[in-house]
Structure 1
Amino acid sequence: MVLFQNMICSQLVFINWLQNHLIRCPFKYLTGIDCPGCGFQRSVLALIQGDFNKSFGLYPATIPLLLFFIYGLADKFFKLDNSKNQLKKALFIIVGSIVLISYTVKLLGYYQHYKASA
């Protein structure tokens, strides 16, 4: 029981450390506009904490992107994708489309907010 409590406590300390050491986005720093990847770090943290709704709300492409990376690593070691099986390309197009659509929606939201305040 003590081991289980120590594991939970160390996980909470690690998550707290991660939340305080997120990498700042240079694109947003220079332009004031979110980049297509803004929200990914916070989304992964929410996913680690088990909050899938918050993770999806912060960055909808997180889960498909992580699955794509896992598949890419598995493919590198186990040669899953051959010339007839184009799964990696299809996954890349799907994940890219999700990123592009969510970024477009985010930018339209910024534009609407800017237009309403002007």
Structure 2
Amino acid sequence: MYLQPTIFTLSTEDFMLPCLNKQMFGLECPGCGIQRSVHLLFQGEFVSAFKMYPAIYPLVLLLFFLVTNLFIKFKYANQIKMSLMLMTAGFILINYILKLSTIFN
């Protein structure tokens, strides 16, 4: 008897972790949406990725700079790094405040 092999297809969505903060308290955390946003980014859906998690592009820019800075040393690397970190933290904070304001209104 010949058995045909079963092909299991797994996507990145199968490996996404649930938000424990949302499960326990019912409120999204500041990082909610980042996994789905990265997934959308890899699929080429750039506008949808931004709508899902607006801080995705400052995060990508920061990570790109940090990796590039490992190989190429920039003159003002510390100032650029701090500026990118503050911008990213600002995007995350503003996004979180806007999410909370829509929940409570």
Place the TM-score, normalised by the shorter chain, in its bin.
0.7 to 0.9
Q: Secondary structure at the match of 1:45?
A: helix
Question: Which stretches of structure 1, 4 residues or longer, exceed 2 Å deviation after superposition?
Answer: 76-83
* Cα distance between partner residues in 1 of 2:26 and 2:74: 41
* Aligned residues: CA RMSD: 1.7
- Is 1:94 the counterpart of 2:83? The answer is no
Gaps of 5+ in 1: 1-12, 113-118
* Cα distance between partner residues in 1 of 2:52 and 2:98: 13
Q: What number of residue pairs does the alignment pair up?
A: 97
* Cα distance between partner residues in 1 of 2:31 and 2:75: 27
* Cα distance between partner residues in 2 of 1:22 and 1:105: 24
* Cα distance between partner residues in 2 of 1:33 and 1:81: 42
Contact 1:81 1:87 in 2 (8 A): no
Q: Deviations over 1:41-98 (max 9, x none)?
A: 1011111111111111100010110110121122133222547x61110111111101
Candidates 19, 22, 45, aligned match of 2:13: 19
Q: Relative to total residues, which structure has the larger helix share, 1 or 2? A: 1
Identity over aligned pairs, percent? 35
- Is 1:48 the counterpart of 2:50? The answer is no
